[in-house]
Structure 1
Amino acid sequence: MRSYLKLIFCLPVLLSLSCKKYIDIVPKGAAVIETTQQFYEMVSMPNRGYPINNFQYLSDDQYMKESNVIGINKTVDIINFTFDDTDIRTNLLKGSSMYNQSYAYINRWNMIISLVDNSTGDNAMKLLAKSEAKVHRAFDHFLLVNVYAKAYDPATAATDGGICIMDKFDLEAQPVKSTVQQVYDFIQKDLDEAIPNLQATPIDVYHPSLAYAWALKAKVHLFKREFTQAKEAAMKSLSYNDKIFDMVAYTAQGGPNTVAVIAPNNPEVLSYTHMTGYNEMNFAYQYVISPELKTLFGSNDARYNLFFNSTNATWLDIGAGTAFWNMAYTKYFYSTVGLKTTEVYLMLAECYARENNLTEAVATLNKIRAKRITSGTVNLPVPATVKEAMAQVIAERRKELLFGFNRFFDLKRYNLEPDYSKTIVRIFPVVNKTVPQQTYTLPPNSRMYIIPFPQDVMMKNPRLRLNTDETVPF
C-alpha cells in the first residue's frame, strides 16, 4: 500500500457494511478518496433519510385511514395505532431502515473523522471536515437514543439502557450498549469539540453551520432539562440565523401555487434532512393528521390552510375530521426532520416558561405566530402559571414541528413530568359503522414508547439487547 491513505469509497458497498477499510486495487468506476477536499465534500449528503415507520402512529398527531386498519392483518403500524402492547413487537421488527441508515451515516462520519488527517491537503480543512462530521455524528446518535431508549431522565439516565456508541471507523465492530447518560455525554462532547471550528456560512446548506450546531446543542440540553444551557445555546443559534418564513405574506401572495419556495430557498431551515428523501412530501398523503391536531390549528392558521386537504376521500375518511399534506415539494419545501429557526424559538420559549419568565415565553411564541396566523387572535395572552405557559408552548410545537420525530420525542420527554404527561386516547373507527367502536389508550409509562432493536441487528451483535421487557424471539 502507498504511504498515503488510499480509500475506495463505494457508497452502496459501504452502506451494506461489507467493504474493507483499505484496498490496493482500485475497481473500475470506484472513487479514490485521498485528498482532504474529497473528505470535506463527503460531509455534504443531500438525501439523508430517517424513516419514521416504526413509530409514527405512537403519537396523537398522526392518524390512519380506517380501511388501512379494519380487517387487515396486524402490522407494526396497526399495533402502534391501536396501542396494542400485548403483541411482541420484535416478531414484526425483523429489520429497520431507521436503525441501519442511521448507523450507515455514522460510519460515514467516522470514516471522515478517523481518516482525514492522513489525507493530502490543508490542515484547516481537515479540522473543518472533522468538526462538521462530528455534528452529523451527534445528530444521528441523538435520534437513535431517543427512538430506541427511554427519554433522558436525570434520576435514572446513568443506568437506563441506551444504544451502541460508534466513535470510530470500524465496519466489523460489535460494540457494547451504552447507557442513556453515556450517549448524551458523547453527543455533547462531539458538539463542544466541533462548534469552535465551524463556519457561520458553510459552502452549501448540507454542511452544518454554527446556527445549526448551536440549535442542536440547545435541543440536547433541553431534552436533559438543562434549561439555562439550552436557553444560552438557543440564543447563540438565533444570533446567526433568526429568520422566520412569513406565511402570512405568503398567503397574500397566493401561496405555493403562485410562488414556489424550494430547498434551499427557505431561510428558516437550518439542516436539510428528511424522513425518506428529498422529494418525500410528494407522497405525504400517507401522513394523515389526527382530528385533535386538525382542530388545534383552527381556521386562520396558514400552516394548515396553505398545505392540507380534508376533502379527498382517496386518502382519508370523510367525516373523521382528519386531513393530509397536499403540496408537492417542488412548490414548497417543508423540513420534517432537520432543525429550523422556529424550533429554536420554541425551545427558547420553553426555557423562558420553565424559569417562570412568562412574558418572554409568550412574546417568543408570538414572534412565530405573527408569521403564521392570518387573522383573528395573533398574540397569545400572558398566562398566570408556568403550566399554562407550557401548554401554549406544547400546542405551538405540535403545529410548527409536523411529522418527523418531534411529537414522538416530545411525548416521551414530557411523559416523565406529571404536569405535562399525557394519556393518549383514540376512539376508532369514527366513520365505519360495521365494526364496534373502541377506545384505545396509550399511558405515559407505556413500554411502546421505546422501540425495540430490530432482530437482524441483535442476531449479529449478541451484546445488544432490548431496552424493554419484551421477549427476544431467538
Structure 2
Amino acid sequence: MKKYLKYITVVALGTIVLSCDNYVDIKTEGKLIPEETSNYRYLLQNTSTLDKAYGNVDIPSDDISFQNEAQTTALGASDYYRPFTNLYKWSDVVYSGSEIDYDMNALYNALYSVNIVINEVMKSKNGTEAQKVAIKGEAEVHRAFIFLTLVNTFGKAYDATTSATDPGIVLFTTPTVSEDIKRTSVQEAYDVILSDLKDAVNSGLKPVNSGNNVAFPSQAAAYALLSRTYLYMRNYPLALENAEKSLALQSTLNNLADYEFTSFPSRKQDKELILSKWNGYNSFSYSPQILSLSNELINSFDTNDLRYVLFTQPSSNFNFDYTIGRTYAKEGLTGESRNAGPTVPEMMLIKAECLARSGSGNLAMAEINKLREKRFRAGEYVALTATDNKDALIKVLAERRRELMGTGGFRWFDLKRLNKEPEFAKTITHVFGTQSFTLAPNSERYQMPFAPIYFDYAPNLQQNP
C-alpha cells in the first residue's frame, strides 16, 4: 500500500499543482511544502478534491430495492455495476481483482491535502496568528468528516464497551507516504474526530458559509459535525447541545411548495445546506434508477408529502422496461449528485431525537412538525402527534428516514447504531432477481470489506471478516 498511497499522493499533488502552481513551491523529494500562509488558503480552495463523500454506502441499506427484472438483468450483466450489486447483496467481496474503491481513494486523497494544512500552516510565513488558526480549523473540519465517514463505513458502530479494540480505519494524521499501513481502533478514530472538531469550533471560522462558499467549513458546520459524531456515539445529551449550537447559527428551511412548479435550488442556492459534501458526477447523477426505493420506505410517505412528489418518481420514468416502484430522483432536479454534508433538517432531526430520548416527547414532536410544515402544501399539512415519549421517538426516527433518504449513508449508519438497541434492531432482506439475501442485526457485513488490491501493498491491513 505504500506504493499505492504514493500513487494517490502523486495524483493529489498533481491536482494541487494544477490549481495553485503560481503559489506553491515544490521542494526536494517531491514533497509539497507551501511556506506562505496564503498558500494554505489556496490548498483549501481546491474543492474538486475536498468536496467529496462516500456515495456507495447508500446501496446496502433498506432504503434501496432493485425490484425491476430489467434492472436486475442489466446490473447483473455489467462488470461496471458489479460493486453496486455486491454491496446490495452484502457480499464478502465488493471489489475484485485490480478494481479500485474510488470513493475511498477520493477521501484519502482529500485527507493528504488537509493533513498538509493541519501540520504545517501554523509554521507558515506572512500570516497573522488568527488567519493561521482559522485555516487550520477549516482543514480539521474536513478531516473530521473524512474520518467519521470512513470509520462508519469500514468500522463497527461505536460502542463505548468495545470500541477501544474494534478495528477501525487507517488513521493518517500526517501527510506521509512511508509508514506501515495498519488499522487503528474505532475509539482512536473518534478521539481524533472529536479533537479536530472541538478545536475547529474555537478557531475563528465564519459563523455560516453559503452560496459559492458552501463547500468551505463554517462554525455552524463544525458544531453540526460534532452533533452528528455524538449521535453516532449515542451520546445524546452532547448531540443535542451541538445541534442547538449549529441551529443557533443557521436554521433556515426551504419551503418545498415554493419549488413544485419552478427550478429547485442548486447547492449554491440551498438555504438548508450547512456544508457541501457531495459524491461528484458519478453514475448516480445520471442513472438514478440505481437508487430505486424500497416499498417499505415509499409506503411510509403521505402521498401529499412534497418529498414524495418532488424527490421520488415512478421507476418507469427512467426506463420503459421498469414497471415497479419508485426511484430517488432529487438529482434530476438539480443535475448535482447526492449530498452527505450537514444540513438544517439533519440538525433539527438530531435535536428532536435527543429530546424524545430525554423524556421531552412533546418538544420533539414540535421540532419535527416545524420541519414537516415546510414539506407540504399549506392546505395539506397535518401535524403529527405522539402518545408518549417512546411513540415520539419512533415517529422522529421515521421522519429522519424520510427526510434523509438515499443520501450520505445516513440510513446505513442509522441501522448500525440502532442495532445496538434491541427494540430497534432490524433484519433486512434484499431481493435480486430470483435470489433473496438477509442481513441480521449487528452482522459483520455492516463493515464494508476493503478492496483486495490494497493488500498487495499493505499486508498488515486487517480485512473485515
TM-score by length of 2: 0.85
Letter in 2 for 1:59: S
Does the CA contact (< 8 Å) of 1:286 and 1:315 recur in 2? no
Q: Within 5 Å, give how 1:249-268 maps onto structure 2.
A: 249-251=258-260, 254-256=261-263, 260-268=264-272
Quick one: distance in 2 between partners of 1:70 and 1:442? 22
Gaps of 5+ in 1: 1-9, 430-436, 470-474
Quick one: distance in 2 between partners of 1:267 and 1:456? 41
CA 1:36–1:366: 2 relative to 1, 3 Å: same
Quick one: distance in 1 between partners of 2:321 and 2:430? 15
Quick one: distance in 1 between partners of 2:311 and 2:199? 40
Does the CA contact (< 8 Å) of 2:315 and 2:325 recur in 1? no
Which residue of structure 2 lines up, in the alignment, with residue 60 of structure 1? 62
CA 1:389–1:459: 2 relative to 1, 3 Å: farther
Shift of 1:62: 1.6
Name the Cα RMSD after superposition: 3.0
CA 1:363–1:220: 2 relative to 1, 3 Å: same
- Identify the match of residue 85 of structure 2 among 78, 83, 92: 78
Q: Within 5 Å, give how 1:29-68 maps onto structure 2.
A: 33-47=34-48, 48-53=51-56, 55-64=57-66, 65-68=68-71
Letter in 2 for 1:312: S
Give 3-state SS (helix, strand or coil) of 2:169's partner.
Answer: strand
Letter in 2 for 1:129: I
Quick one: distance in 2 between partners of 1:297 and 1:193? 40
Q: Within 5 Å, give how 1:122-161 maps onto structure 2.
A: 122=127, 123-161=129-167
Q: Within 5 Å, give how 1:370-385 maps onto structure 2.
A: 370-374=373-377, 375-385=379-389
Does the CA contact (< 8 Å) of 1:205 and 1:272 recur in 2? yes
CA 1:288–1:45: 2 relative to 1, 3 Å: farther
Q: How many residues align?
A: 437
Shift of 1:80: 3.1
- Identify the match of residue 219 of structure 1 among 228, 231, 243: 228
Quick one: distance in 1 between partners of 2:222 and 2:462? 31
Quick one: distance in 2 between partners of 1:268 and 1:326? 15
Gaps of 5+ in 2: 1-8, 17-23
Does the CA contact (< 8 Å) of 1:423 and 1:444 recur in 2? yes
Letter in 2 for 1:150: K
CA 1:389–1:317: 2 relative to 1, 3 Å: farther
Quick one: distance in 2 between partners of 1:95 and 1:369? 40
TM-score by length of 1: 0.83
Shift of 1:166: 1.2
Which residue of structure 2 lines up, in the alignment, with residue 346 of structure 1? 349
Which residue of structure 2 lines up, in the alignment, with residue 434 of structure 1? none
Give yes or no for the alignment of 1:115 onto 2:120: yes
Quick one: distance in 1 between partners of 2:41 and 2:257? 39
Letter in 1 for 2:453: D
Which residue of structure 1 lines up, in the alignment, with residue 3 of structure 2? none
Which residue of structure 2 lines up, in the alignment, with residue 459 of structure 1? 456
Give 3-state SS (helix, strand or coil) of 1:62's partner.
Answer: coil
Which residue of structure 2 lines up, in the alignment, with residue 444 of structure 1? 441
More helix by share: 2
Q: Deviations over 1:285-337 (max 9, x none)?
A: 43222222222223111112123320535437644222241654547x67521
Does the CA contact (< 8 Å) of 2:97 and 2:453 recur in 1? no
CA 1:376–1:334: 2 relative to 1, 3 Å: farther
Identity %: 29
Give 3-state SS (helix, strand or coil) of 1:440's partner.
Answer: strand
Give 3-state SS (helix, strand or coil) of 1:416's partner.
Answer: coil
Quick one: distance in 1 between partners of 2:40 and 2:355? 41
